[in-house]
């Protein structure tokens, strides 16, 4: 067997030149008298799922999961043969089904929109998300008012009182989601 040739010494491959190259002056390490230098440093920490970007991802997941739950609940209310002894109860459930389906679709679209805005950094998609969440808040407040009206006027008070509590909790959670996205937009991560 033949021996492999040995590589030539390193000095043959890399010519050495003085640094800095001839003709260039070195920078002064400190500003001269009367000169002011400003430096800006941005420190970004990787905080994982608890950092600001991670919290926005939780908002995305919450929006999509809440949308799926509302959509499925609306479909169940619309297709179930609700045996109610009063006309108000049937009307309440059919209206609730329509609102749930609308909110479900709206929240799924909002979650997908925020996910695309986060991954592609498109400011217009953040604006669309804020509009969709505003529409959700309007529908949620309408549902609160409707459930309160039914609670005071009919015999389906148990069902409507539980929906009042759910609407209030969802509004509080959405306020936290909105503040998280606003903080993300104002941060250097955006």
Q: Which residue has the higher pLDDT, 146 or 107?
A: 107
* Residues in the chain, total: 190
Distance between CA atoms of residues 13 and 24, nearest Å: 25
Q: How many CA atoms lie within 13 A of 144 on its CB side?
A: 13
Q: Which residue has the higher pLDDT, 87 or 108?
A: 108
| Closest to 109 (Cα-Cα) out of 78, 136, 146, 138 | 136
pLDDT computed for residue 131 by the predictor: 92
Is the pLDDT at 142 greater than 70, yes or no? Answer: yes
pLDDT computed for residue 80 by the predictor: 72
Residue 106 pLDDT class (50, 70, 90 cuts): very high
Q: Are 47 and 54 in contact (CB under 8 A)?
A: yes
pLDDT computed for residue 63 by the predictor: 92
pLDDT computed for residue 86 by the predictor: 55
| Chain segment 2-29, per-residue pLDDT in tens | 677 776 665 555 556 665 566 555 555 6
pLDDT computed for residue 68 by the predictor: 94
pTM over 0.75: no
| Chain segment 36-73, per-residue pLDDT in tens | 666 666 555 555 667 777 888 889 999 999 999 989 98
Residue 166 pLDDT class (50, 70, 90 cuts): confident
- Give mean pLDDT, residues 167-183: 87
**CA separation, residue 162 to residues 153, 157, 165 (Å):** 16, 9, 5
């Amino acid at each position: 067997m033949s021996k492999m040739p040995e590589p030539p010494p390193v000095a043959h491959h890399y010519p050495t030149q003085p640094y800095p190259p001839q003709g260039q002056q070195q920078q002064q390490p400190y500003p001269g008298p009367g000169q002011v230098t400003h430096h800006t440093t941005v420190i970004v920490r990787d905080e994982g799922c608890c950092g600001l970007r991670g919290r926005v991802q939780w908002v995305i997941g919450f929006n999509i999961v809440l949308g799926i739950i509302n959509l499925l609940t609306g479909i169940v209310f619309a297709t179930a043969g609700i045996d109610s002894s009063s006309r108000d109860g049937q009307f309440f459930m059919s209206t609730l089904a329509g609102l749930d389906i609308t909110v479900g679709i709206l929240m799924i679209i909002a979650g997908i929109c925020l996910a695309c805005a986060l991954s592609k950094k498109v400011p217009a998609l953040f604006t669309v998300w804020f509009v969709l969440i505003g529409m959700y808040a309007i529908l949620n407040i309408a549902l609160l008012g409707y459930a309160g009206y039914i609670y005071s006027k009919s015999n389906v008070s148990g069902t409507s009182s539980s929906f009042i509590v759910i609407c209030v909790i969802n509004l509080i959670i959405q306020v936290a989601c909105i503040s998280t996205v606003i903080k993300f937009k104002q941060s250097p991560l955006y």
